[in-house]
Amino acid sequence: MTLTHFPSSEFSIETSSRPTSDGDREKILSKPGFGKYFTDHMVAIDWTLDKGWNEPRIIPYGPLMLDPASLVLHYAQAIFEGLKAYQHADGSIWAFRPELNAARFAKSAERLGLPELPKELFLQSIQQLVCADSKWLSQTPETSLYLRPFMIADESFLGVRGAEKVAFYVIASPAGPYFENGVSSIPIWVSAHHTRAARGGTGYAKCAGNYAGSLAPLQEARKNGCAQVLFLDAQHGQFLEELGGMNIFIVYKDGSLATPALSDSILAGVTRQSIIEIAKADGRSVDERQIGLEEVRTGLANGDMTELFACGTAAVLFPISILKSHNFTCSIPNAEAAKVSLSLRQKLTDIQYGRVKMSSNWMHKLHDLTTH
């Protein structure tokens, strides 16, 4: 599906006077890592209470000018999204289900008292940036262009209220595998003393504060040899919710799946939803429900549960090798094999990179060889 065009004449374009050289860009693209390098341009759009959204533009990538009294610096009125653009074999560039990101962005904005960005403007923003920086994509396996739309309250005011002046940006970063060791199983730390979100809070919103609160537990996890943190529910401290930046799934010995049901304390992941739909299309049942930690430990011990995996836009999908906390270590046998998990990952990436066509309109064309 080709994206509906927001009139391009409304986007002014300022081309970078110091773009990355072809040689330097090729060197970066040969081993981009994740979130380390950025393309030559970015999108910027302003919003004010009296004008609404105005002045959409492509500008050279560079530092932001923020007043020290900007509301975002004091009250964390900031939301963001994460999605990827993929280059297919014919050179065309596609986004994966960006309308879901646009809808979630609007929901996050509502929760934080920020203005809603129209879906068409969200979609056209990523298209404009990808067209401007299309040279930053390659067909190297497991690479993509990670797109980071974000909105901040940049009004200079110290009173506690919703901002009357807001800025929306999109930046782009060439991306390789999220973890340095590529696609392999990862150990997970189960946080016993920290929770990510509580009912009635901001857990379902993709807001900066949620991620800030996950960083101390992540440091604890890494001190204990783990790559990510699994958070439990705030009320009981017994039920699985999500990782710091990924949703979690269980695979049973019969090939069926289970994942924590969405609530206002769990982010509705685009990858999560896609995995559910792919699994069901593959004939697997998927149970979205409350899942207890003790249930998981017992299921792994008696063989009823055979795999665990985590998924998200940045990391895609990774098998889990160990669940670990202060008072237990639970290993998942043959985690590297993870037949079901890796099969689902392959089906997902085959769609994203255009190796398999779907009847559903999941892929949206952003740029092709005839676009200039």
Task: Kindly give, in sequence order, each residue whose CB lies less than 8 Å from that of residue 310, ignoring residues fewer than 6 positions away.
Answer: 186, 188, 228, 243, 246, 247, 248, 249, 317, 318, 320
Instruction: Record the tokens describing residue 75, joined without a space.
Output: 């009250």
CA angle 183, 171, 144 (to 5 degrees): 30
Between CA 53 and CA 65 the distance in angstroms is 19
User: Which residue, 335, 370, 351, 369, is CA-closest to 97?
Assistant: 351
Share of the chain above pLDDT 90, in %: 89
pLDDT of residue 346: 96
What does the pLDDT read at residue 4?
45
Homologous superfamily of 186-337 in CATH? D-amino Acid Aminotransferase, subunit A, domain 2 (3.20.10.10)
Residue 222's φ and ψ, nearest 5 degrees, are -70, -30
Q: Mean pLDDT over residues 36-46, rounded? A: 98
Q: Report whether pLDDT(2) > 70.
A: no
Residue-level pLDDT at 156:
97
Residue with tokens 């609160």: 213
Residue 1: pLDDT band by 50, 70, 90 thresholds? low
- For residues 287-296, average pLDDT: 98
Condensed to tens digits (0 to 9), the pLDDT of residues 333-346 reads: 887 789 999 999 99
Residue 31 has pLDDT above 50, yes or no: yes
Residue 168 contacts residue 108 (beta carbons within 8 Å): no
Quick one: pLDDT at residue 336? 79
Phi/psi for 348 (5° steps) reads -65, -50
Instruction: Pick the more confident residue, 368 or 72.
Output: 72
What are the pLDDT digits (tens) for 149-193? 999 999 999 999 999 999 999 999 999 988 776 678 999 999 989
- Facing residues of 322 across strands? 187, 331
Tell me the per-residue pLDDT of 14-27, one tens digit each, with 9 for 90 and over.
999 999 999 999 99
Kindly report, residue by residue over 59-103, the tens digit of the pLDDT. Answer: 999 999 999 999 999 999 999 999 999 999 999 999 999 999 999
Mean pLDDT, range 355-363, rounded to an integer: 85
Task: Report the C-alpha gap between 352 and 344 in whole angstroms.
Answer: 12
Q: What is the pLDDT of residue 305?
A: 96
Q: What tokens does 156 get?
A: 């200079």
Note the pTM of the prediction, 2 decimals: 0.94
Residue 294 C-alpha from the chain's centroid: 29
Q: In whole numbers, what is the pLDDT of the chain averaged over residues?
A: 94
pLDDT at 359: 66
pLDDT of residue 231: 97
Q: Thinking of the domain 8-176+354-367, which architecture would CATH place it in?
A: 2-Layer Sandwich (3.30)
What pLDDT, on the 0 to 100 scale, is given for residue 184? 83
Give tens-digit pLDDT for 118-160: 999 999 999 999 999 999 999 888 899 999 999 999 999 999 9
Using the predicted structure, report yes or no on whether residue 278 has a pLDDT greater than 90: yes
Per domain, the residue ranges of the chain are 8-176+354-367, 186-337
- In the three-class reduction of DSSP (H, G, I as helix; E, B as strand; rest coil), residue 351 is classed as helix
pLDDT for res 8: 52
Please name the amino acid found at residue 326.
H
